[in-house]
Structure 1
Amino acid sequence: MIAPVVRVPRLACKSGEVRPGERAIPEETPVAIVHNGSTYAVMMATPADLEDFGYGFSLTEGVIGALSEVDSIETLEFDAGVEVRLWLNETRASQMVARRRQIAGPTGCGLCGVESLELAVKPARAVPEGRRFSVSDIAQAIASLPPAQRLNHETRAVHAAAFWNPADGLVAVREDVGRHNALDKLVGHLTRTGEDAAGGMVLLTSRVSIEMVQKTAMLGAAVLVAVSAPTALAVRTAEAAGITLAAIARDDGFEVFTHPHRIEFGGAERELIAHVG
């Protein structure tokens, strides 16, 4: 398979000096998601964990509703890129809709080729109640993420999506040049391993857009924590789906935008929850 990281020569200009050397950078290649011989989408992605990507993308896009609907999956490498081929069972194949998305955009742009505005902003699935987390839980989860970002350590150029729960800590981390791709890979992995998404929280190193909320809802996770800010539409979508959305998470704290009842603040908890709504 194509290596997800390559090293290239470079000149470093720093403090008035120019020095030769190398830099590790992330690979980027076209990845086609193919269902029963028909290309559904083409994304620019990091060539790693592509079976997870194929499963996760198919789940969050609604092409499949469960892994049992996939008879087989294979990854084929060509000069022009990689195909992830999923062969669906007869029942699901007969139910496939005619809509096709051709997404050939920069680093997983996410909405290229959507033919309907309604499809782009479709309501997110309602999530289960899940469990509550303390302020220290969220701080611990966010602090555990940077050391686990292997590709980002090498490149400083990729996003990460992760899953954390109090019992196991950081369960899984997936990275990609595209933030949507990273989350799709995480969804695919957690679904394949049977992880209880309601028992933990999804962590993102990127901003929170509507697609990130929609994908988290498809996974069934009730708490989403990100290091960057959300969009207004993402907040409205999280509110409607019942997701607790915390963002701008740093060493010194975070901000909660929706459903704060899942967070144990301590003393003035009732007043705080009433303030957000």
Structure 2
Amino acid sequence: MVAMSEETPVERAGFVERAIVRHRAGESLAAIDHVAEEIPVALVFNGISHVVMMATPRDLEAFAYGFALTEGVVASAAAIFDCEVFLRPDSAEVALTIAQEDFVRLKDRRRALTGRSGCGVCGIDSIDMLDLRPEALPPALIQVDLPAALARASAGLRAHQALMQETGGVHAAAWCTPDGEIVQVFEDIGRHNGLDKLIGHLALHAIDMRLGFVFLSSRGSYELARKAARMRIPLLATISAPSSLAISIATQAGMKLVGFCRQDAWVDYTPDIGI
């Protein structure tokens, strides 16, 4: 359950207005532009601040749930007993109450970690803390006609990217049915934040993440593959290219990873993994 603090304004639009001057073909035009909003968001577990992420201040409850799950802070959504969002003009704090056993484990590996919109490992001081050895996924519960499903998801994503259309500066994470129908989309200035928001939403609504796939408007970086593998998502599809480490993680986990997805083309980076 989430409780919004008394200082919390209404849900933010995710963008702010800024005065600009557009220069084109030798002409200058003063205008007002919509710019993607980015603020520091502190995630606090049982009264102890664990991480500060730079994120778009929308869907922060889902973001906190997703981060806690995809980073292994809690073993399941049921281990989160309470979630309170404090949204301020230039920052936000999300306070979660989690099960004692998860909190003890968190304290054992607690570290100072400051996230940026383009970085998922800032502040880590040991390679071992990266957790690059995912558990093997169970056999897939779905079958996907990749050409048809990826074409449908590619064709439909833009219509769900309202914030991207306003600003041109955010990523989207979409949950798709096996046939490529887009069910839910979350946007954020950080690609991993968008995925955390999506996963948090799925967890809050008890949606089985083994029964669909994730389609991302970004490249396939290692942290996205690791988060998806941890949640037993069988297929991760991206518009841009994956990294070598993302491919390695997907291969180890037995998760299908495809990139450069378009309506009529894609690249399979795990051809030995069926789905």
Q: 1:23 aligns with which of 22, 29, 33?
A: 33
User: Distance in 1 between the 2:167 and 2:89 partners?
Assistant: 24
Q: 2:109 aligns with which of 99, 103, 117?
A: 99
Match of residue 58 from structure 2:
48
Q: 1:211 aligns with which of 223, 233, 252?
A: 223
User: Distance in 2 between the 1:31 and 1:165 partners?
Assistant: 31
User: Distance in 2 between the 1:222 and 1:166 partners?
Assistant: 10
Aligned residues: 263
1:138 Cα shift?
1.3
* Residues 124 and 248 of structure 1, relative CA distance in 2, 3 Å threshold: same
One-letter amino acid matched to 1:133: V
One-letter amino acid matched to 1:157: G
Match of residue 6 from structure 2:
none
Match of residue 162 from structure 1:
174
User: Distance in 1 between the 2:63 and 2:265 partners?
Assistant: 32
User: Distance in 1 between the 2:75 and 2:25 partners?
Assistant: 55
Sequence identity, in percent? Answer: 38
Contact 1:108–1:181, Cα closer than 8 Å, also in 2: no
User: Distance in 1 between the 2:202 and 2:271 partners?
Assistant: 24
What secondary structure does 1:206 align onto? coil
Match of residue 254 from structure 2:
242
Match of residue 210 from structure 2:
198
1:69 Cα shift?
1.1
* Residues 41 and 18 of structure 1, relative CA distance in 2, 3 Å threshold: same
1:119 Cα shift?
1.8
Contact 1:243–1:259, Cα closer than 8 Å, also in 2: no
Contact 1:32–1:82, Cα closer than 8 Å, also in 2: yes
Contact 2:220–2:241, Cα closer than 8 Å, also in 1: yes
1:73 Cα shift?
0.6
Q: 1:110 aligns with which of 117, 120, 137?
A: 120
Match of residue 271 from structure 1:
none
Q: Residues 211-258 of structure 1: CA distance to partner in whole angstroms, max 9, x if unpaired?
A: 111111122111111011111111111101001111011233000010
Q: Does 1:223 align with 2:235?
A: yes
One-letter amino acid matched to 1:110: G
Q: Residues 152-187 of structure 1: CA distance to partner in whole angstroms, max 9, x if unpaired?
A: 010000011111004682111111111111111111
Match of residue 84 from structure 2:
74
1:121 Cα shift?
4.5
Contact 1:223–1:243, Cα closer than 8 Å, also in 2: yes
TM-score, normalising length: structure 2: 0.90
User: Distance in 2 between the 1:160 and 1:253 partners?
Assistant: 20
1:260 Cα shift?
5.2
What secondary structure does 2:165 align onto? helix
User: Distance in 2 between the 1:111 and 1:167 partners?
Assistant: 34
Match of residue 187 from structure 2:
175
One-letter amino acid matched to 2:220: V
1:102 Cα shift?
2.9
Match of residue 69 from structure 2:
59
* Residues 106 and 93 of structure 1, relative CA distance in 2, 3 Å threshold: closer
Match of residue 45 from structure 2:
35
* Residues 168 and 247 of structure 1, relative CA distance in 2, 3 Å threshold: closer
Q: Which moved more, 1:101-110 or 1:54-63?
A: 101-110
Match of residue 158 from structure 2:
146
User: Distance in 1 between the 2:131 and 2:260 partners?
Assistant: 23
* Residues 17 and 228 of structure 1, relative CA distance in 2, 3 Å threshold: same
One-letter amino acid matched to 2:29: R
Q: Residues 26-71 of structure 1: CA distance to partner in whole angstroms, max 9, x if unpaired?
A: 1110000100011111011000000001111011111101111111
One-letter amino acid matched to 1:199: L
Structure 1: which 5+ residue stretches go unaligned? Answer: 264-277
1:200 Cα shift?
1.2
Contact 1:10–1:21, Cα closer than 8 Å, also in 2: yes
Contact 1:121–1:210, Cα closer than 8 Å, also in 2: no
What secondary structure does 2:260 align onto? strand
User: Distance in 2 between the 1:242 and 1:30 partners?
Assistant: 35
* Residues 90 and 237 of structure 1, relative CA distance in 2, 3 Å threshold: closer
